[in-house]
Structure 1
Amino acid sequence: MEKRRIVITGMGCISPVGNSVETAWDSVKKGRSGISEISLFDSSDLNVHIAGEVKDFDPAAFGIEKKFLRKMARFSRFAVAAAKQATEDSGYNKESLKKEKCSVVFGSCMGGMEALSEGFNKLHSTNADRISPFTIPLMLTNEAAANVSMSLGLQGFSWTMGTACSSGTDAIGLAADLIRAGRCSICITGGTEAPITKFSIASYDSLQALSRQFNGCPEKSSRPFDRDRDGFVMAEGSAVFVLEELEHAKERGAKIYAEVAGFGSSCDAYHITAPLKDGSGAAIALKDAIADAGITPEEIGYYNAHGTSTFINDMAETQMLKSVFGEYAYRINISSTKSMTGHLLGAAGALEALFCVKALNEGFLPPTINLDNQDIDAGCDLNYTANKGIEKDIEYAASASLGFGGHNSCLILRKYTDL
């Protein structure tokens, strides 16, 4: 039986590098960092003072009424805003979507962290009676999917993936599988995250996971595969897609951005935070995605790396690429857009998939910035598209996400052709 083809017909994003698809893409094309000093709280007593914050975000600009804001956590606001961008981009609206068999699948790692932090602070500074009754619903990771469903009046599946930093990628893969299985015709899917709180920064820093050495020059802090990398930079935002079955999209005359050609997912089954050093667990996800797409590894023209700027991840991911691609690993174009956005955790894979779609459509591969001294001694000796993007027409792009708990996932995206 021929596999049903799943295509992307709408996209939206809220991110540290721009609050629309075009502004975000323009930033990464130009190698412009969205990382800056933390403004959301006073970080002066922490070791880390930098993050990839969303700037100039106005919920009202996306039709989110003020009366709903106190019932909607920051990560949900991002999701609703990006979902509205994506649905409008696809040619749908609330009324037309109600007539369709439409589902929602989102990924989030941290949920409403600011609600948890505020509740905790009130508990210890005043008393339990002062804690908001909205604390629990605001902090739940499923709240974003629920709010997107409510904002669009969708009563189909409304699911949340919680696979750490693989959440957004897994959500898109699951959404495609739902459509292939005939459970829905359309799916609003992606990832969202708003983890920049004092509690979160301090907690990740206690793991020695965050960059500390570049507080004075934030734009230089995220430097995947570079000798001087010292940890990732926490970031926030959301990226959302409208997925449809191909024939459904063609029947309504939709513009088609790209095809979700393959998806793979795996688990290292090794350690709660550290990846397998040889990348063998992640290799399973990439190989499965390639097999699902029905292509050879050499057909992939661009690989958007998880590339967090931590010593272990960058080394392990490079080893994984060598094991899957062999000699071709030295010829494929690789880059980590986290060098500009920071790490959006559960939303990272969705935003990076969006950049892959733009790369397919425009024939331009974004750079890994801050790659001044490639870490050859650690085995990071591949072509990471250092500091300047390149023009190159490609048919397939891969985007991988590797998360705590050993969760790995990969998408293969294809330039759309009506064949």
Structure 2
Amino acid sequence: MNTPISITAIASISALGNSPKHIWEGYLNNKHHFTTKTVSKQPVVVAQIPPDVLKDIEILKQSDPKYKSLDHSVLYAIYTSRKAVKQAGWQSTDHFGVNIGSSRGATTLFEKYYDAFLENNKAETLSSPTTTLGNIASWVAHDLQTNGPEISHSITCSTALHAMLNGIAWINAGMCSKFLVGGSEAPLTPFTIAQMQALKIYTKQNTNFPCRALDFNKTKNTMVLGEGAAMVCLEAGRPTNALATISGYGYATEVLKHNISISSDAKCFQKSMKMALGNINPDEVDAIVMHAPGTIKGDLSEFKAVEKIFCNKRPFLTTNKWKIGHTFGASGTLNIELAVFMLQYQKCIGVPYIDNPKPPKKLNHILVNAVGFGGNAVSILLSK
């Protein structure tokens, strides 16, 4: 790290809710936050935004005539960005940067517009501008009235942590002192769910734990889709309101052997975790918030990578996907949020159906992982 970089605010919405108090309370219990949604006349397990939070999103949507035509992925981003910036005490005159990504983007609108095109053989007027990938960050920058740099991208499920890498790079380069980074996803649509089912990775069970992320003995894939967004405020230095410090970062990409391939021991994660550790002894890492999507190969390969890097002392392992599902491009910063909570409250949040080493008495360093299709891995080391 060239310049100390701190996290000064985090705001999110997910199946856990939208307030830090409710989110942390949700993490403290051993219950998942899944519901059942009828998709193509079949019940599907999903992780939805709670109804009371959706009321806030509807109020936001009706607050500006221009917002009425926006997809939920954009509205979730605007909503959480407002909360994060307010929490950090930023002003538009600070000219902070914005980098927000999404794996799927405006899924609901895209499917709606495409259905209308098939029916009428004519595209609707706003079908292009409201579904482009740059839609999310540009609308957030417009809403917050910042004149800083504004970036959108999709690097599948590691998108949010790649946004964090960009923010770190801009700050280290001295081109910006503050950056808003994160991801937003609203993927609970018929075609998106059908795509995951076609890959044979979606859960077919509706038990006590429909998603069994980090269960290395499972014999079936158990991924569950969730919707949500999480935004993080990054600042140069160590201000008094810092929630955590970014003490390392790493990234790597594997050579593709298949469209969704990852090596059996996740070489991409081995490289990204090793890079993130830098000169820190692996034994000093107290916990890892795993990517762990709930698939057999995905979970096990990441675990094998952890074994390779942390051969002397395995850190405490956890994930939030058994509770809030896989939120694709937003999952990385939702993982960051969990890590920051654990550092703040000095409490490990475990996974109820797996065995773990005894939680450490003190949490000083937590590693956060994310990876997307094709082995686009990112690891971020957070310190108290």
User: Is the TM-score greater than 0.5?
Assistant: yes
Which of 74, 77, 80 matches 1:79? 77
Equivalent AA in structure 2 for residue 180 of structure 1: N
Given residue 234 of structure 1, which amino acid in structure 2 is its aligned partner?
A: L
Partner Cα separation in structure 2 for residue 37 and residue 368 of structure 1: 22
1:195-206 aligned at under 5 Å gives the runs 195-206=187-198
Hey, what does 2:21 align to over in structure 1?
Answer: 22
CA deviation string 1:252-290 (max 9, x = no partner): xx5110111111111111332021111112110111111
Note the residue ranges of structure 2 that are not aligned, 5 or more in a row: none
Please list the CA deviations of residues 371-410 of structure 1 after superposition, one character each: whole Å capped at 9, or x if unmatched: 2xx5xxxxxxx7278xxxx674211111101110211111
User: For residues 350 and 74 of structure 2, what CA distance do their matches in structure 1 show?
Assistant: 30
User: What are the equivalent positions in structure 2 for 1:372-411 lying under 5 Å apart?
Assistant: 383=356, 392-411=361-380
Asked if 2 retains the 8 angstrom alpha-carbon contact of 1:363 and 1:391, the reply is no
User: What's the CA shift for 1:119?
Assistant: 1.2
AA of the residue aligned to 1:302: A
Please tell me whether the aligned partners of residues 106 and 131 of structure 2 are also in contact (alpha carbons under 8 angstroms): yes
Moved more, 359-368 or 267-276: 267-276
Distance 1:157 1:316, change over 3 A: same
C-alpha separation between the residues in 1 aligned to 2:271 and 2:18? 34
Residue 282 (str. 1) matches residue 255 (str. 2): no
Give the drift of 1:52. Answer: 0.9
Matches within 5 A, 1:353-368: 353-368=336-351
Q: Tell me how far apart the structure 2 counterparts of residues 207 and 101 of structure 1 sit (CA, whole Å).
A: 43
CA displacement at 1:365 relative to structure 2: 1.1
**2: CA distance, partners of 1:212 / 1:168:** 28
Residues 169-208 of structure 1 aligned to structure 2 (within 5 Å) = 169-208=161-200
The equivalent position to 1:259 in structure 2, one of 245, 263, 273, is: 245
Q: Tell me the TM-score normalised to structure 2 length.
A: 0.93
Please, which runs of 5 or more residues in structure 1 have no aligned partner?
375-381
| SS of residue in 1 equivalent to 2:129 | helix
State the match for 1:240 in structure 2: 231
- For residue 33 of structure 1, report the CA deviation from its aligned partner: 1.6
Q: 1:32 to 1:398 in 2, by over 3 A?
A: same
Mapped partners of 1:395, 1:319: distance in 2: 24
Distance 1:133 1:62, change over 3 A: closer
Q: Count residues in correspondence.
A: 378
- Percent identity over the alignment? 22
- CA separation in 1, counterparts of 2:165 and 2:268? 18
Distance in 2, matches of 1:63 and 1:257, equals 31
Following superposition, the deviation at residue 90 of structure 1 comes to 0.8
Q: Among residues 127, 136, 143, which one is paired with 2:120 in the alignment?
A: 127
Partner of residue 159, structure 1: 151
Residue of 51, 55, 62 corresponding to 2:50: 55
8 A contact 1:62–1:84 mirrored in 2? no
Q: Over aligned residues, Cα RMSD in angstroms?
A: 2.0
Asked if the contact 1:169–1:190 (Cα under 8 Å) also holds between the matched residues in 2, the reply is yes
Equivalence for 2:5:
6
Structure 1 stretches of 4+ with a deviation exceeding 6 A read: none
Distance 1:391 1:36, change over 3 A: farther
Deviation for aligned residue 1:60: 5.5
Retained in 1: the 8 A contact 2:61–2:67?
no
Cα pair distance change 1:283/1:35, threshold 3 Å:
same
